[in-house]
Amino acid sequence: MNPAAENVHRFLAGREALAREASARGFGVHTARRYTDLVDRFLRRLFLDAGLSGSGASVPPFAVVGTGSYGRRELCFGSDLDLLIIHRETLPEALRKEIARALYPVWDARLELGYSFSTPEGCLRLIRDEFSFLTSTMDLRFVLGAKELFRSFSGSVLEEMRGDPETLLNRFLLYQEKREKKYGKVDYFVEPEIKEGLGGLRDLHFMAWISRLFLGVERLGQIKHLPDFSHFGLSQLIYSKGFLLKIRNHLHLLCGRREDRLLIPHQRDIARTLGYHDRPYSTGPERFMRNLYLHLNRIRYGREQFLTKALDTILPMPPDPDPGRVSREFQVHKGNLVLDGEGLSNRSPLVVLRAFNEANRLGLSLGSGFTWEAKKKLVYEGKRLVDMDEARRLFLSLILEPGNPKIIRLALEIGLIELFIPEFKRIRHLSQFGYYHVETVDLHALSTVQTLYRMSRGAFDDSWPQFGRAFRNLEHPRRLYLSGLIHDIGKGYRGDHARKGARIVPRILERLGISEAGIRTVAFLVENHLLLVNTSQKRDLNDEKTSVQMAQAIQQIPLLDHLFLLTVADCFATGPTASSDWKLTLLTELYTKVRKVLERGRLATPDATTRLRERRERLYKALIRDHSRKEILSLMEQASTRYFLNTPPEDIEQHFRLALRFGSATLRWTLTKLESAPVTRVVLVTRDRPGLFSRMVGVFTVNNLQVLSASIATLKNGFAFDIYRVTNPLDPYREQEAWEKVHRDALLAVEDGADLEQRVERRRLRKLESRGTRVDWIRKVRIDNQATDFFTCIEISAGQREGFLYELAKEMSALGLNIRFATLYSDREKITGVFHVRDDRGQKIHDPSRLKTIRETMLSVID
Assess whether pLDDT exceeds 90 at residue 143.
yes
Q: What is the pLDDT of residue 434?
A: 55
- Helix H or strand E encompassing 657: helix 649-660
Q: Which residues contact 329 (CB under 8 A, 6 or more apart)?
A: 339, 340, 341, 351, 354
Whole-number Å distance between alpha carbons of 655 and 660: 9
Mean pLDDT of 646-666: 91
Whole-number Å distance between alpha carbons of 355 and 366: 8
pTM: 0.81
Judged by DSSP in three states, 107 sits in helix
Nearest residue to 293 via CA among 440, 134, 112, 501:
440
Q: What is the pLDDT of residue 828?
A: 60
10 Å CB burial of residue 824 (0-12, 13-18, 19+) is buried
Q: What is the pLDDT of residue 754?
A: 64
Q: Which residues contact 315 (CB under 8 A, 6 or more apart)?
A: none
Q: For the chain, how are helix, strand and coil distributed in percent, rounded to 5? A: 60, 10, 30
Q: Sheet containing 81-87: give its strands across.
A: 113-118, 81-87, 62-66, 141-145
DSSP assignments along 621-636, one per residue: HHHTTTS-HHHHHHHH
10 Å CB burial of residue 754 (0-12, 13-18, 19+) is exposed
pLDDT digit string (tens) for 22-74?
Answer: 876 678 899 999 999 999 999 999 999 888 876 665 568 899 999 999 999 99
Judged by DSSP in three states, 341 sits in coil
- Tell me, what DSSP letter sits at residue 757? H
Strand 113-118 to strand 81-87: parallel, antiparallel, or no bridges (unpaired)?
Answer: parallel
Strand 679-687 to strand 667-673: parallel, antiparallel, or no bridges (unpaired)?
Answer: antiparallel
| Cross-strand bridge partners of residue 712 | 722
Whole-number Å distance between alpha carbons of 577 and 766: 24
Nearest residue to 46 via CA among 73, 9, 88:
9
Whole-number Å distance between alpha carbons of 335 and 172: 22
Q: Which residues contact 386 (CB under 8 A, 6 or more apart)?
A: 392, 419, 420, 511
Assess whether pLDDT exceeds 70 at residue 751.
yes
Q: Sheet containing 365-366: give its strands across.
A: 330-333, 336-339, 365-366
One-letter amino acid at 485 equals: L
| Cross-strand bridge partners of residue 671 | 682
- Long-range pairs, 818-822, Cβ under 8 A, ≥24: 818/712, 818/714, 818/842, 819/693, 819/710, 819/712, 820/711, 820/712, 820/713, 820/791, 821/540, 821/709, 821/710, 821/711, 821/712, 821/791, 822/693, 822/707, 822/709, 822/710, 822/712
Nearest residue to 795 via CA among 840, 837, 853:
837
Assess whether pLDDT exceeds 70 at residue 319.
no
- Helix H or strand E encompassing 838: strand 830-838
CA atoms within 13 A on the CB side of 830: 16
One-letter amino acid at 645 equals: L
pLDDT digit string (tens) for 228-248?
Answer: 888 888 899 999 999 999 999
pLDDT digit string (tens) for 430-440?
Answer: 887 555 667 88
Whole-number Å distance between alpha carbons of 524 and 573: 20
Mean pLDDT of 518-532: 95
Q: What is the pLDDT of residue 57?
A: 59
Rg (CA), the chain: 33
CA–centroid distance for 727 within its chain: 21
Strand 707-714 to strand 719-727: parallel, antiparallel, or no bridges (unpaired)?
Answer: antiparallel
Q: What is the pLDDT of residue 252?
A: 94
Phi then psi dihedrals of residue 550, to 5 deg: -65, -40
Q: What is the pLDDT of residue 546?
A: 86
Confidence of residue 189 (pLDDT cuts 50, 70, 90): confident
What b/e readout covers 657-678, taking b as 16+ CB neighbours within 10 angstroms? Answer: bbbbeeeeeebbbebeeeeebe
Whole-number Å distance between alpha carbons of 805 and 833: 9
Nearest residue to 335 via CA among 303, 368, 302:
368
Whole-number Å distance between alpha carbons of 122 and 104: 25
| Cross-strand bridge partners of residue 117 | 85
Judged by DSSP in three states, 713 sits in strand
pLDDT digit string (tens) for 251-269?
Answer: 999 999 999 999 888 999 9
Q: Which residues contact 725 (CB under 8 A, 6 or more apart)?
A: 582, 674, 679, 680, 681, 682, 707, 708, 709, 710
CB 591 within 8 A of CB 551: no
- Helix H or strand E encompassing 143: strand 141-145
- Angle between helices 735-751 and 692-702 in degrees, nearest 10: 150
- Tell me, what DSSP letter sits at residue 38? H
The CA-to-CA distance between both ends of the chain, in Å, stands at 55
Q: Where are the beta strands (DSSP E) in 185-262?
A: none
What Cα–Cα distance (Å) separates residue 273 from each residue in 31, 247, 266, 430? 17, 11, 10, 21
Q: Where are the beta strands (DSSP E) in 3-133?
A: 62-66, 81-87, 113-118
Of 182-186, 481-485, 580-584, 778-782, which one has max mean pLDDT?
481-485
pLDDT digit string (tens) for 501-519?
Answer: 999 999 999 999 999 999 9
Q: What is the pLDDT of residue 323?
A: 58
Whole-number Å distance between alpha carbons of 556 and 405: 32
Whole-number Å distance between alpha carbons of 647 and 641: 10
Q: What is the pLDDT of residue 563?
A: 96
Judged by DSSP in three states, 837 sits in strand
Assess whether pLDDT exceeds 90 at residue 770.
no
Nearest residue to 65 via CA among 32, 87, 34:
87
Assess whether pLDDT exceeds 80 at residue 731.
yes
**Residue 690 CB: number of other CB atoms within 10 A?**
12
Confidence of residue 827 (pLDDT cuts 50, 70, 90): low
One-letter amino acid at 145 equals: G
Mean pLDDT of 371-377: 87
Strand 336-339 to strand 365-366: parallel, antiparallel, or no bridges (unpaired)?
Answer: parallel
pLDDT digit string (tens) for 269-302?
Answer: 999 999 898 887 788 888 899 999 999 999 998 9
Strand 679-687 to strand 707-714: parallel, antiparallel, or no bridges (unpaired)?
Answer: unpaired
Q: 110 in the Ramachandran plot: left (φ > 0), alpha (ψ -120 to 50) or beta? A: left
Q: What is the pLDDT of residue 515?
A: 93
Q: Sheet containing 792-799: give its strands across.
A: 667-673, 679-687, 719-727, 707-714, 818-826, 830-838, 792-799, 780-784
pLDDT digit string (tens) for 613-651?
Answer: 889 999 999 999 999 999 999 999 998 888 888 888 999
CA atoms within 13 A on the CB side of 2: 6
